[in-house]
Structure 1
């Protein structure tokens, strides 16, 4: 199964404002998670299988998983750079 990635316009604007390195790191961790989001993420606080954290290089993103609809929604982007 392959999940779909969703970024609302505000989160997408934050993504678009990142330098190239940050956009690349976010793309790598988000694309890796599409096939198996649980395997490519860690719990965000209590492990409920819904709120998860993805990280790669300079970027950490908080996501919501909707297993029924097979979507990954990016809710927050953290960049260290």
Structure 2
């Protein structure tokens, strides 16, 4: 079952400000992360089971992952 994705207003502004091709690339990467968060992300820092990092050629996206609620919360989007 896919995880839900929560994006706060600040991160939504970052996402919305991307050129269309990058926005689509980010959307696809985030979709894949919601389908398989453990397989598409890596632990961020010490593996606390909560803070995860999605790494692509153009983005770093930091998440808080709640397995019980099956929810990913974006806390930072970095464009490389």
Deviation at 1:21, TM superposition (A): 3.0
Name the counterpart of 1:33.
33
Name the counterpart of 1:15.
15
**Bigger mean CA deviation after superposition, 64-73 or 24-33:** 24-33
**What runs of 5+ residues in structure 1 fail to find an aligned partner?**
none
Deviant stretches of 4+, over 2 Å: none
For residue 38 of structure 1, give the secondary structure of its aligned residue in structure 2.
helix
**What runs of 5+ residues in structure 2 fail to find an aligned partner?**
none
Deviation at 1:25, TM superposition (A): 2.3
Report the count of equivalent residues.
80
For residue 27 of structure 1, give the secondary structure of its aligned residue in structure 2.
helix
C-alpha separation in 1, matches of 2:6 and 2:60: 16
**Bigger mean CA deviation after superposition, 67-76 or 17-26:** 17-26
C-alpha separation in 1, matches of 2:44 and 2:28: 19
Name the counterpart of 1:77.
77
Aligned partners of 1:53 and 1:62 also within 8 Å? yes
Structure 1 vs Structure 2 CA RMSD: 1.2
**Bigger mean CA deviation after superposition, 28-37 or 68-77:** 28-37
